[in-house]
A and B are shown apart, each in its own frame.
Chain A
Amino acid sequence: MTVQELIDGKEYEVLNPGEDTGRRIETVFCCDLLSVAMGKAPADCAWVTVMGNMNTLAVAVLTEAACVILAEGTVLDETALKKAGEQGITVLRTEAPVFETAMEIYKML
């Protein structure tokens, strides 16, 4: 499934559509500790987290995550939202918990 297909499914609120939406999502990754995500997030993953700050976005860019999905109704602060726009990172949001979100996306792959 591509990032665009995930967006088109309309299951998730789009906080920032991102630029590279044609890329394929290869797997799902869950982690809120950025220190761990930095070392473990696989490239091209859909990263489900409740951590919605600037550093989440930096980690997403550097680990080459395909997109970020903020679970549990987490919001991005204004600075982070601006950064997502500048860096072209796809950021989605849902009220659902991390596990349910990850499982749902995993089933769609």
Chain B
Amino acid sequence: MEAIVLKYEISPDDFTRAGEASSDVKNKLKQMGVAPEAVRKVAIAMYEGEINMVIHAKGGEITVTITPEKIVMELADVGPGIPDVELAMQAGYSTAPDEIRSLGFGAGMGLPNMKKYSDDMKIDTEVGVGTTITMVVNL
């Protein structure tokens, strides 16, 4: 089987639409007959990433590559970058603004959840340039 590639533009500051890309991927994976637990992992990991891109990075682009062995999600933005990745990975550490917190987000669980629900996660980030996060869920 050839790899299937899905691409999504994530618009900035649009909280009502955040999650649409993840929902679309979820539905497509379901239709392809991917195991439900893997679908759930991809959906959660990608949604957290999508939300982060909306909150912190003025949107960006998500590329999802599906092969028989694994699903690779690449989330690329040209946002502010993460100055201290180790600190950002700590559960509870957050730089989200108050209006995001009032929606029930911004509790500093995004990156930890992404790590928890993916089998492999890599963060490439440079302050002032942007961040690319690659997450893999094995099938």
Which chain B residues border A14 with CB–CB below 8 Å? none
**Contact (Cβ within 8 A) A55 B107:** no
**Contact (Cβ within 8 A) B108 A35:** yes
Which candidate, B3-11, B40-48, B58-66, B75-83, is the interface stretch facing chain A?
B40-48
Min Cβ gap B127→A in Å is 24
Q: How large is the interface on B (under 10, 10 to 19, 20 to 34, 35 or more residues)?
A: 20 to 34
CA distance A22 to B109 in the complex (A): 32
Min Cβ gap A53→B in Å is 6
Interface string of A54-86 (1 = CB under 8 A from B): 111011011110000000000000010000000
**Contact (Cβ within 8 A) B48 A34:** no
Min Cβ gap B116→A in Å is 6
Interface string of B2-36 (1 = CB under 8 A from A): 00000000000001101100110010000000001
**Contact (Cβ within 8 A) B108 A62:** no
Chain B interface (Cβ within 8 Å of chain A)?
15-16, 18-19, 22-23, 26, 36, 40, 43-44, 47-48, 103-110, 112-113, 116-117
List 13 additional A-B contacts (Cβ < 8 Å) besides A36-B107, A55-B15, A62-B26.
Answer: A34-B105, A35-B104, A38-B48, A38-B109, A38-B113, A39-B109, A39-B116, A39-B117, A54-B16, A58-B18, A61-B19, A63-B40, A64-B36
* Shortest 6 CB-CB contacts between residues of A and residues of B: A58-B19, A34-B104, A35-B107, A35-B109, A39-B113, A62-B43
